[in-house]
Structure 1
Amino acid sequence: MAINLILICFWRLIMALFKTSLQKSLLIFLLAILLWMPLKLNAGMPKAQSLLQDMLLATKQLSYEGRVTIMVQTPMRNMVFELMITRKAPDKRRVEIISPIEMAGSGVIVNGKEISPLPPNKDRKEQGKFMPPFSQPDQMDELQNYNVQQLLKNYKIRVLEGGFVAGRDTYLLEIEPKITDRPSRKIWIDKEKKIALKVEQYNAQKVLQRLVTFSRIAFMTDIDDEIFRIQRGFFDMKWRPKPTEREELWDQLQGELDVKKINEKAKFKVRILNNLSGGLALQSITMVKFDKGQNVHLIYTDGLTFVSLFQSPFDETKRERRPPEGPPSREPFKERHEGPPPGSPPGPPMQPDKPEKMKISGVNCDVLQRGPAFIFRWYKEGVYFTLIGDYTKKEMVKIVESIIK
């Protein structure tokens, strides 16, 4: 009501300033043009849902070669990398580091389910100790995991003109959370090919955390399979870590979840919730083995971001006497290969930093922060829990509460 009164008073003031009928007519005409132009500009824009679905499809179907710049913000400094990425649909990728120079030539090859590091340039023998500082072979891969329905449920999405990226015309998707204290994204999508050419990732405070952008890209259909041949021998050294053993137990595409089957596989009662606080829905369940410790890994998503929940059987009363089961500690090289200290908890590695102690819903928790991510650990009813997510501490506490209750 108050807003309506203000608008009426403002309109009467404007009309009083413009005395003649001609002036009033011109004013009304200009206002109509100003209101009409944004509607006209947005009329030709595709719907966010169809654009996202086209992007997910293109990410899996297109073959190309391109040069990519990655900027990652860390607590100490910003890191910038130049990569050459070659993809051959549906499941072959080669990622090679161009700069920084001390890492040039290193990278990774993905051929189906096989993943192998690339050896460094032959004229730089010391490069063998450097590995790509990113967890995914291709930073654009995370786009394949977006859940469109969850995304539309939990985020507001605007489709705008994006200008040119790598010489190609784009749409810009601005993805803002409906819930406060959540990360946001900006994605530039190729108008013709529908592939993402640039992604900006912001934390809950709207600070840019990561930038991934193509500086050039060439789409092609005939790419030699030889460049995706898995390298053998170079990294078969004593210090190379053994690959993590994984077994997929369920994902959202398989329909109804068989909890009894999951528990039989895990050999303990897994706490499975279909939904967590803040619109997070269960996406997949995987059995993961860290060293001798068996873990069940549940991934939850709000459509854009992900939360990992690890669960392992753990007898707190026998902690000091039990054989090592947990993962290797983050100690110096020699100790890392002699095995974890007795009594190490199962689950992803506990960092050497002293954790913060918290009590949540009556349960004692250890809390660590790694960059934008928080790690919460607790023990309850014979199960050791590890929760990892890129949300604020306040949001993570709410999620822990929804699991404990």
Structure 2
Amino acid sequence: MFRRRTFFSSLDLFPTALSMKLQYTSSMKYRVLHNTLRYLPIRRRQFVFLFALTGFWVGTAGAEKHLVFDDIIRILDYSEKQFSYLGAKFVIDYSPSRRSTTFVKVTHSSGLRKKEVASLTPGESSQVILDDGKFLWHYIPSQGSVVKKKHRMTLGRISKRIASQGELIQHNYNIHIKQIPHKSSGLSDTQIPSVSGDVMVAFEPKAHDRPSWKIWLEREHGLIVRTEVYDTKGNLALLSAFSELTFQPKLSKKSFIMKVPKGTTVRKSVEKYFHTVEEAQEETGFPIVEPEYISQGFKLASVIQSPSKRGEKVQLSYLDGISSISIFEEKHADATNENASDDSKEVSISQSIKGTFHDHGLLKILRWRLGQDFSITLVGEVADSELLKIAASLSVSSSP
């Protein structure tokens, strides 16, 4: 009797204390429980209360933690994740001038080796990109060659940009994070179905002159399974998503061998990386021209110097955390004229300088000359007007 009474006394008081502690969520629930228990026999009180208490703790344990951007960075951190996967994904370019669909087979090992085989056009040989952890090997069938080059972390995949440019991203983008129930894909009825993610992250630029992004994450493995990029008008411009995904498959070393036809040449991309223009200038044979204007929020990420077919080339790479702007400056011996294409048009950069503008959807390209042997190519994921402002500021700078 004493044990029963002791339990009853504690039970009689506990719901009140519990409801006070959890008043912000469910005080009414526990008030009803307390009033109900008062009119039940002692044994039934024990059963009802334990049942309710168990339900409460299960509900609390199952509640989703509110995610912040630092959590997303941790989810995408591959440093402590050792997993392999096989996947098939599709990439759809919705740009009017470049509408296309590309199918890609992806093989990824726990040793961070990665191989992508992209089938661009039926009947043509597929491009192959092999990542051995140190170098990228890119087989280009149309050129009959394999290009070997070092990683470019600052302009890498979106997952690497998020991990390495977190502070800049938060400065330039409004970030919205949504956790998706497993039973829901998180997609609208009009969107193409794909592998479901657990978390959706939307990046809305604070300056409305650049694309917005949405990514879906498979939380357990920290893998981006779907990416949507929208142009400055809010139209879906690019979609990349896995249609199939298998984790921890059995992979052999043969899975990461690049097979190419006989006669294929290997070209090594000789690039030197610098943090500042001043450092690069010491290794460059012509004066590097810097823009007097750059779009809001963009910072110089790197300067890359390399030889070109006709001379010497420098690339100034700017990032706002996600979107990029690159300025290519090339000194060459001959004065060649660019052939016009269907997606190009002539634009005025200044009163005396004309350029050729190419609209490639998300990417805008603007080319022009400064003198007979010096050309500039501006490539950016920004609005046309922004590209012209940058070009004008380059043209008024001292030309070599």
TM-score (norm 2): 0.66
Residue 353 of structure 2 corresponds to residue 364 of structure 1: yes
Greater RCO structure (CA 8 Å; 6+ sep): 2
Opposite residue 137 of structure 2, the aligned amino acid is: I
Q: In the alignment, what sits opposite 1:332?
A: none
2:236 is the alignment partner of 1:248? no
What is the aligned partner in structure 2 of residue 115 from structure 1? Answer: 137
Q: Which residue of 1 aligns with 2:213?
A: 185
5+ residue gaps, structure 1, are: 1-28, 30-40, 120-127, 252-256, 315-322, 325-342
Is 2:327 the counterpart of 1:303? Answer: no
Query: In structure 1, the residue corresponding to 2:70 is in which secondary structure?
Result: helix
Counterparts of 1:174 and 1:104 in 2: how far apart (Å)? 36
Asked if 2 retains the 8 angstrom alpha-carbon contact of 1:181 and 1:392, the reply is yes
Tell me the residue number matched to 1:206. Answer: 234
**How do 1:141-290 residues align onto structure 2 when only pairs under 5 Å count?**
141-146=157-162, 147-162=165-180, 163-164=184-185, 168-220=196-248, 223-234=251-262, 236=264, 243=267, 245-251=269-275, 257=276, 259=278, 261-272=279-290, 276-290=294-308
Distance 1:43 1:218, change over 3 A: closer
What is the Cα-based RMSD across aligned positions, in Å? Answer: 3.8
1:44 counterpart residue number: 65
2:336 corresponds to which of 344, 362, 365:
344
- 3-state SS in 2 of match to 1:81: strand
Report the more deviating stretch, 217-226 or 271-280: 271-280
Q: Deviations over 1:149-208 (max 9, x none)?
A: 221111111001344486554111111110112101110011222211100011111111
* Whole-angstrom CA distance in 2 between matches of 1:302 and 1:399: 15
In 1, Cα distance between equivalents of 2:329 and 2:80: 32
What's the counterpart of residue 13 of structure 1? none
Give the number of aligned pairs. Answer: 311
C-alpha contact (below 8 Å) 2:349/2:388 kept by paired residues: no
C-alpha distance 96-277 of structure 1, shift in aligned 2 (>3 A):
closer
Query: Could you give the per-residue CA deviations for residues 9-48 of structure 1, whole angstroms, max 9, x where no partner exists?
Result: xxxxxxxxxxxxxxxxxxxx9xxxxxxxxxxx99722102
CA contact (8 A) 2:292 2:390 kept: no
Corresponding residue for residue 26 of structure 1: none
SS of the equivalent of 1:396 reads helix
SS in 1 for 2:283: helix
Distance 1:209 1:401 in 2: 27
Shift of 1:61: 6.1
- Give the CA deviation at 1:74: 3.6
Kept after mapping to 1: 8 A contact 2:98/2:360: no
Give the TM-score of the pair, scaled to structure 1. 0.65
Distance 1:100 1:309, change over 3 A: closer
Question: Could you give the per-residue CA deviations for residues 336-360 of structure 1, whole angstroms, max 9, x where no partner exists?
Answer: xxxxxxx127xxxx45336413133
Deviation at 1:118? 8.4
Distance 1:118 1:398, change over 3 A: closer
SS of residue in 1 equivalent to 2:288: coil
SS of corresponding position for 1:397: helix
| Structure 2: unaligned runs, 5 residues or longer | 1-27, 29-61, 146-150, 186-192
Q: How far apart are the structure 1 equivalents of 2:178 and 2:282?
A: 49
Query: Equivalent residue of 2:358, what SS?
Result: strand
2:84 is aligned, of 57, 60, 63, to 63
Larger Rg: 2
Give the counterpart letter for 1:395 in structure 2.
Answer: E
In 2 relative to 1, CA 77–394 (structure 1 residues): closer, same or farther, beyond 3 Å? closer
State whether residues 168 and 321 of structure 2, in contact with CA within 8 Å, keep that contact through their aligned partners in structure 1: yes
Shift in Å at residue 383 of structure 1?
5.0
Aligned AA for 2:226? Answer: K
Cα distance in 2 for residues equivalent to 1:390 and 1:199: 16
Q: 1:105 to 1:389 in 2, by over 3 A?
A: closer
Match of 2:93 in 1: 72
- CA distances 1:61-108 after superposition (whole Å, capped 9, x unpaired): 653211112211242563223322101255522223468643476544
Contact kept, 8 Å, 1:58 with 1:194, in 2: the verdict is no
- Corresponding residue for 1:334? none
Code of the aligned partner of 1:248: K
Give 2:389's match in structure 1, choosing from 375, 380, 398. Answer: 398
CA contact (8 A) 1:60 1:90 kept: no
Change (3 A) 1:356 1:104: closer
Which piece of structure 1 moves more, 84-93 or 57-66? 57-66
Asked if 1:386 is matched to 2:374, the reply is: no
Question: How far 1:224 moved relative to its partner?
Answer: 1.5
Which residue of 2 is the match for residue 92 of structure 1?
Answer: 113
Q: 1:114 to 1:193 in 2, by over 3 A?
A: closer
